[in-house]
Amino acid sequence: MSDDTQIKTEEIVEKVEEAKTGDILSEVKEPNPYHVVYEENEGLEKIAKWYVVHTYSGHELKVAEQLKVRIASMHVEGKIFQAVVPAQDKIQVKKGQKKTIKEKILPGYMLIKMIVDDLSWLAVRTTPGVTAFIGSVGKKPTPIPEREVDTIMKFMEVKAPKFKSTFSSGEAVKIVEGPFADFLGTVDHIDETKGKLSVLVSIFGRETPVELDFAQVSKI
């Protein structure tokens, strides 16, 4: 090993050790934790690429926040610019109550826009919760096409939120609202786009499908 290579390796190891002792989650919460902008630099971002990173499922937002501290502690400003946790708004109906939630589109994955070199790669790869870069050839990760990123971004920005069903086909339910209130039935079909489901109800001895809103039905 040459002297230059040894010095470079020692510098990287030293920075990683410094980062390990300095990784404390920021108390400042991001305006949008699903799309974190670490730095805006139009010139450098033109040469930066998007990469897919695999994380422990459920740790995506923590990784995005932790990476902000990692960038500062390993001094890789100007190399890592954005992190995106793909998610979309959905309306969840639970016990007759509606609320808007964020549902991850690709659980366990996130996108990072960065300029890859040994140190920036190491900063991301050693962030707690990260397991690997996706599509790596040897030690160098492969960027994903810009059109794929654009598709994901557009999907995240869809204005009309979809409904998230807590019901499953064939499940026994109770109708709690409307002309069939207190009837028992079986879920036949679920339409998450409209927030409706078809319930088979016994009327005059025959199973009849009745279309209902999620809020009109409860689990038994």
Q: What pLDDT, in 10s, does the model give residues 65-97?
A: 999 999 999 999 999 999 999 998 887 777 667
> 110 φ, ψ to 5°?
-145, 160
Look at residue 200 in the predicted model and tell me its pLDDT: 95
Calculated CA dihedral for residues 44, 46, 52, 58, nearest 10 degrees: 60
Per-domain residue ranges of the chain = 3-161, 165-219
| pLDDT for residue 155 is more than 60 | yes
- Dihedral-angle region of residue 18 (phi above 0 means left; psi in -120 to 50 means alpha; beta otherwise): alpha
pTM, to two decimals: 0.67
Look at residue 179 in the predicted model and tell me its pLDDT: 84
User: pLDDT (tens digit, 9 = 90+) per residue, 5-14?
Assistant: 444 545 554 5
Look at residue 220 in the predicted model and tell me its pLDDT: 87
Question: Are residues 90 and 103 in contact, defined by beta-carbon separation less than 8 angstroms?
Answer: yes
Q: How far is CA 30 from CA 26, 102, 104, 106, 216, in A?
A: 10, 15, 17, 21, 36
What CATH number is given for 3-161 in this structure? 3.30.70.940
| H or E stretch covering 133 | strand 130-133
Question: Are residues 74 and 117 in contact, defined by beta-carbon separation less than 8 angstroms?
Answer: no
- Tokens 């799309």 locate to 35
Give the domain 165-219 fold. SH3 type barrels. (2.30.30)
**Using CA atoms, how far apart are residues 141 and 138, in angstroms rounded to an integer?**
8
- Rounded average pLDDT over 178-194: 90
Look at residue 163 in the predicted model and tell me its pLDDT: 77
- Identical fold between 3-161 and 165-219: no
Look at residue 88 in the predicted model and tell me its pLDDT: 85
Look at residue 13 in the predicted model and tell me its pLDDT: 47
